[in-house]
Chains A and B, each alone.
Chain A
Amino acid sequence: MVSAVKRLAAGLLAVVGAASVGWDGAAEAQTSVKIGYAISRTGPAAGGAAVTTIPNYELWVKEVNAGGGLKLGDKRVPIEVVQYDDRSSAEEAAKALERLITQDKVDFILPPWGTGLNLAVGPILNKAGYPHIASTAVTDRAPELAKRWPNSFWLLGTSADAAKTLVELLVKLRTEGKIGDTVAMASIADGFGIDLSGAARPALTAAKFKLAYDKTYPVGTQDLSPIINEVKALNPDVFIAFSYPPDTIAITEQSRISGFNPKIFYTGVGTAFPLFKQKFGANAEGVMGIGGWNGDSPAIKDYLARHKASAANGAEPDRWASAVTYAGLQMLQQAIERVGKVDRAAVINDLQSGTFDTVIGKVKLENNMPTKYWWVGQWQDGEFYGVGPSGNEGARAPVVPKPAWKAQ
């Protein structure tokens, strides 16, 4: 609370400061690289942006500037940030980006949070020729969009790929005799849940799994126990929920209370959040979810430590898009430094063809998308390790069946 009060005071001071400085906040260019972004500080997308995007943008800028700035040719140039609040609205995001481009004349733009907003700003960034490194958007149209907008890079992949990886893992576990073939699936009636369940459904049927339960629930449902109770009665081997953070928490909590403990328990966005571990503690053990990372790699461990040191209240990154977001920033930095000047077309070119050294390992894009993703993670010993695809470097073996819930 003390720190919260401090932050409030700091916020108010910043307001007073900004108001007294007036309009001349934007100093002359040449001596700095201007980087702009519009991010959801308020509105429904604020929860995701606050965990995944904002801390990484701030961490990256802080680190680059602490090292003297971006290396352009033989001198280092500090980053100057221009940021707006898009209020979680597509219209505001579009307007803010146009403002960044034409008014503030920023050199580079960092993407907004979420699939919808990234799609909404796609045409604007494309028209203005800015690189668009979408690191928090999952869409099946990504390959097509990358063709339509060659400046856009889709680091988080497609939901079809996510569903395929999950089903491959299930098939493997079934052949090993660790699970049977009844699957129950619940998904949120929003872009993410629909896309993923839409891709998982045929994949599961093709792999001859029995889909015992397959329902959606609307955003904002406050009690998910009817779903859990019904699913529990069906006694499936595998439970899949393509859910959003508040429901991920609610579903897990309700399952624990009802004693619903299938061999595989998989939840959606939010499973990889530090909040999940903080809330469920030892009960997180064995829960699978979307995302994951190579928790044993020194780069990731180092990133985790730096993130904790930099973020407000020592917040940890989430174990999915956070690292990808940070890797996207590193790629942008390396591309700019290789080009050596603010030449957006050349930077886009470099992003398309270059190889990058990032916290998630070596990245080389093909058709503006990475070739490797983490799609299935699992909480093991207090860390959310990537378990699928199993071919990825650092993939752990999944713990199946999931251990029983512990009483609290």
Chain B
Amino acid sequence: MTNAVLTGLVLGGMYALIAMGLTLQYGVARIMNLSYGEFLIGAAFASYWLFTGWALNPLAGLAFVIPVSFGISYLLYRVLLTPLVRRARTRDALEVDSILATFGMMFIVQGIMLTMFGGAYFSYSFLAVPVTIVGEVLALNRLIAFGLAVVVGLALYLTLTRTRIGTSIRAVAVDPIAAQLVAIDVTRTSALAFALGGALVASAGVLISMFLTFSATSGVVFTMKALIVVVMGGVGNLLGCLVAGLALGLSEALVATFIDPGLTLAVNFALFLGVLLVKPAGIFGRAQR
């Protein structure tokens, strides 16, 4: 039982980590980013390259990957997505446009990775050592990913609730039109949130590459997982993300241990659908708009 709970928590932390960037990108910048998983895999490849080519510790690699991905995401929003935001008359129209545009982006990023690395599977070992916690053995790299998810989640939560910039980000999330009335530069704030999301997903990619086998085409799995966590937790809500991620991870581990590993994913989806039916806006979501 302890083992299942611990495994579930660690797995759930990973899910939350994957999803946090998307909740910012989608909740604040209002970009339904279908190429999200591709950016995660891109960071995983960067980490793989740094580790195997330059013997750079993936955790140290974060110092390199995070700013780069922040910059790329920022530029992406300013150059490619701002025109879409400008021309969209309603939020629905922006949703449609951003789905289409990021769908194209997904192909581009995937295409670049395919030409650079080919379609084969990649994997390396880093910190794959056992750690014993309350008598149960866990992998250190997974534990670190979990720890970082909690730390990042809390730090972001505090930033969003306690600082001025955080407050303006939340204001944009609630109502981008009204936010302008209180002298918030919505475009800049949105770009910032989008870039922050990009940096988060990149750090998730680096951490995950330490223990998951990935290939250039495996991004879509993560996009979907992230979307599910985000929607389940309530769009734009970091704590919701954490709770939803942990709920999914725990249910997966408990079902695998006590019922049947074959049903884990089905239970995950059932849980997700169930939450939506009871609370259509997600666990922590407010009513729409």
Contact = CB atoms under 8 A, between A and B. Distances in A.
Contacts of A8: 112, 115-116
B261 A226 contact: yes
Interface in A243-259: 245-246, 249-250, 253-254, 256-259
A47 to B, nearest CB: 5
Interface in A298-341: 312-313, 315
Interface string A229-269: 11000000000000001100110011011110000000000
A41 B115 contact: no
B57 interface: no
Nearest to A51: B120
Contact of A221 (B114, B117, B264): B264
B119 A223 contact: no
Nearest to A217: B261
Interface string B256-281: 11001110111000000000000000
Q: Classify the interface of chain A: helix, strand, loop or mixed.
A: helix
A66 interface: no
Contacts of A245: 121, 213
Interface in B91-120: 110, 112, 114-120
A208 interface: no
Interface residues of A, number: 52
Contacts of B261: 186, 215-218, 221, 226-227
Interface size class of B (residues with CB under 8 A): 35 or more
A163 B211 CA distance: 30
B230 interface: no
A222 interface: yes
Interface in B133-192: 137-139, 142
A275 interface: yes
B206 to A, nearest CB: 16
Nearest to A256: B128
A11 interface: yes
Contacts of B266: 218
B122 interface: yes
B213 A246 contact: yes
Nearest to A246: B213
A256 B3 CA distance: 17
B53 A250 contact: no
B252 interface: yes
Given A220-B265, A250-B212, A279-B124, A226 B119 contact: no
A257 B7 contact: no
Contacts of B218: 47
Interface in B40-61: 49, 53
Contacts of A49: 119
B221 interface: yes
B221 A220 contact: yes
B217 interface: yes
B253 interface: yes
Contacts of A250: 211-213
A50 interface: yes
Contacts of A189: 262
Given A8-B112, A253-B128, A41 B11 contact: no
Contact of B11 (A4, A42, A51, A222): A222
Listed from nearest, the 6 A-B pairs whose CB atoms lie closest are: A46-B119, A50-B119, A226-B256, A11-B115, A4-B116, A246-B213
